[in-house]
Structure 1
């Protein structure tokens, strides 16, 4: 009987040890940041984009199902997929051709899933901004939807559709995390702000889709960005003020 008790205690201690040795999400992201699949240009953006603190702010955990909207060249995909590979799921949706081509065959990236490949991203005649047409992202009840510096690219119709799609894809209580370049409040469209968007407008639009505002972060606040110049201008390139806002789909 004593041997059985001792064995039970040993197993319990072993289980506790295994749980405590599991790397926190910050460590997993840090490991992904050190991967040799990242280019030098990507590495040079780490200090400005602060991915560990950004993803921790949104509440990322390694066992979540996470959908990245418009992953582009995969700067964040290269961090999210390895961090989620063991216990979670990663979905890339809309504008995924580059990550599908460059990442799908790499070791450790086999589990990544591409969805909503047939989504139509287009410009109305005469518009500077994109519209979006698709019925669904093709996935339900994910824990988190993230999009980084994409919101400004879309027209009012496109932003509304993006928010609706994120809402439909999330489980109740799921998180919608959005980061983008800051525009002055209520400033009209001009030649110097096409890649910026008013955070107050974004909050209003995202709440209209059904989301609840949870929190915001000043992680990407840049005091010396006067919000006067286009994002690609030499004086602000790589140093733009960005808003970082966390929303939740209501639990009921």
Structure 2
């Protein structure tokens, strides 16, 4: 089990909203607040909490105990550190990661590093179920119709760049139950941006993201500005990777980009029709 940690509520608005919604949600909010700074989390990941608003984001998507949740392409496990222990004893967490058979050279090693992270802390991650997403060969991220919630964080641009966006969204639709929710966080391009911009900068328009989800059969439910950043103009020399945490330009204009912070992001909720 996750070790007990003391935590001062730095985000009282989220907690007060949960209290107003009922005791179960308040308990969930309190546990999430504790988990985002728990001992098992990587220190560098904790430092990004203020930029990524994990408690508010997960509650906007409707995360609750007992759910079957799929996180799509969890990378190094930023959200895994929160979702896996939250669902460990009451719920099911699938981490739909890269495939060992992937053609892109960086993907199998990334999968192996993720597996090593899980095995290094079995008290937290022993119930995590790893599946693989490598369309068109591997698309079953969870048993069909089993998931209450599918989540993807800052991934849509990668699928657009690879030309696999339709297959990815269809796999989410297949995994979800009728009435299940798809939650999407993505770097936001100014509306009217061209496909060339979306294929090269890491930014995607909100309208195009909604279009992709609706083409797969989803209904758009709601957008939130939880992860908005008005300082981000989305026109940087190395695209979104110019900004933290990547800072691809190194020390060139570093203070300027650190002052902007992480990218402006859309936070979108979709539903698979009943």
TM over 0.5: yes
SS class of match (2:35) = helix
CA contact (8 A) 2:187 2:265 kept: yes
Matched, 1:209 2:213: no
Instruction: Show the 5 A alignment for 1:126-205.
Output: 133-140=137-144, 141-155=146-160, 157-188=163-194, 189-190=196-197, 194-205=201-212
Please name the residue that 1:220 is paired with.
Answer: 227
Long gaps (5+) in structure 2 = 1-21, 99-110, 243-253
Number of residue pairs matched by the alignment: 221
Please name the residue that 1:6 is paired with.
Answer: none
In structure 2, distance between residues paired with 1:170 and 1:248: 9
Alpha-carbon displacement from aligned partner over 1:52-105 (angstroms, at most 9, x marks no partner): 000000000011000000000000000001111121110011324433221234
* Change in CA separation of 1:69 and 1:97 when aligned onto 2, cut-off 3 Å: farther
TM-score normalised per structure 1? 0.80
Instruction: Show the 5 A alignment for 1:58-69.
Output: 58-69=61-72
Matched, 1:101 2:116: yes
Alpha-carbon displacement from aligned partner over 1:151-175 (angstroms, at most 9, x marks no partner): 1111374111110000000000000
In structure 2, distance between residues paired with 1:22 and 1:187: 39
| C-alpha RMSD over aligned residues | 2.3
* Change in CA separation of 1:223 and 1:192 when aligned onto 2, cut-off 3 Å: farther
* Change in CA separation of 1:20 and 1:239 when aligned onto 2, cut-off 3 Å: closer
Q: Which moved more, 1:23-32 or 1:75-84?
A: 23-32
Please name the residue that 2:37 is paired with.
Answer: 34
CA contact (8 A) 1:180 1:197 kept: yes
In structure 1, distance between residues paired with 2:24 and 2:224: 29
Q: Which moved more, 1:35-44 or 1:83-92?
A: 35-44
SS class of match (2:113) = helix
Please name the residue that 1:129 is paired with.
Answer: none
CA contact (8 A) 1:74 1:98 kept: no
TM-score normalised per structure 2? 0.74
